Amino acid sequence: MTNTTPTGPIAPSIGAVDVLVRNGVSVSGDPALPPIIFGPGYGTSQNMWRLVAPQFSDERRVVRFDHVGSGESDVSAYDRRKYDSLRGYASDLLEIIRELDLHDVVFVGHSVSAMIGALAAIQEPQRFARLIMLGPSPRYLNDEGYVGGFERADVDALLDALEVNHANWATAMAPALMKNADRPELAQELADSMSRTSSLVAQHFARVTFLSDMRRFLKDISTPTLILQSSDDLIAPLEVGEYLHEHISDSELVVLNAAGHYAHLSDPAEIERWIRQYL
């Protein structure tokens, strides 16, 4: 099964829905301040940003949210057809922005949220001032002339293991994703977070994420972009960060001292510092 992200406008959700409840949106800071939105990566919640996001509440309106099926979101709002591509998640992000009437948004997206934010910014660039991508990847599978980090057989095995036992998969994967072996509590927190996601949602979202290919959309990103690349990341190797920097016209690439795919949890001070410097 190959996931391809369809072209065309991102359609709004069908039917009446409380957008802020659906995505468990939390807002802090003066509404008159310029907004900054923090998006969580696959299988985690907005809680992963708790060590970084509040540091900006004195100078910005801070918005955090969860993807449907994770964290404080309304899992009953999960629509497999809608979320069969990343554009369904980008639609949610745009609905949150419209509901809060936000402009000049700085969007900080971790992992797959970085690509979700990019899709939203391509659709409505007038809403966005900056994109900040932490551990992003436009394609996880290796391809001719492209290093994504995974062979198809690796991804198939990963997806099969996730479908057999979601909780065991999370426990097994967390240490390799987090790195920082001397701080096992970080891997445990990650495993717990991923385990709390609905199993059916986690399986489908993983398939959509790991089989997506966003490369052809990178040329359409007009929003200035900062790429934060961990020094040792199983999910997004250095070649991926370099590829993004090469193909996003107005971008900067920073290779972090922090290791692992969750630098906002393992080294929040470094992430905060680079965000501040970029802004």
Amino acid type, 21? V
Environment class of 91 (CB within 10 Å of its CB; exposed 0-12, middle 13-18, buried 19+): buried
- Secondary structure of residue 106 in the 3-state scheme: strand
Residue ranges, the chain, pLDDT below 70: 1-17
Amino acid type, 197? T
- For position 199, what pLDDT does the model report? 87
Distance CA 237, CA 206 (A): 18
Single out the catalytic residue among 73, 91, 111, 113: 111
SS3 content of the chain, % helix, strand, coil (to 5): 45, 15, 40
Decide if 118 contacts 217 (C-beta within 8 A). Answer: yes
- For position 15, what pLDDT does the model report? 41
Distance CA 274, CA 216 (A): 27
Helix or strand (DSSP H, E) at 251? strand 251-255
- For position 13, what pLDDT does the model report? 44
Decide if 171 contacts 191 (C-beta within 8 A). Answer: yes
28 included as an active-site residue: no
CA Rg, the chain, in Å? 17
Single out the catalytic residue among 67, 110, 261, 264: 261
Single out the catalytic residue among 233, 251, 266, 267: 233
- For position 53, what pLDDT does the model report? 97
- For position 43, what pLDDT does the model report? 86
Taking residue 231's Cβ as centre, other Cβ atoms within 10 Å add up to 13
Decide if 230 contacts 135 (C-beta within 8 A). Answer: yes
Decide if 86 contacts 186 (C-beta within 8 A). Answer: no
233 included as an active-site residue: yes
Q: pTM of the entire structure? A: 0.92
- For position 17, what pLDDT does the model report? 66
| pLDDT tens digits along 248-265 | 999 999 999 999 999 999
Decide if 179 contacts 266 (C-beta within 8 A). Answer: yes
| CATH code given to domain 19-278 | 3.40.50.1820
Helix or strand (DSSP H, E) at 241? helix 238-247
Domain ranges of the chain: 19-278
110 included as an active-site residue: no
- For position 198, what pLDDT does the model report? 86
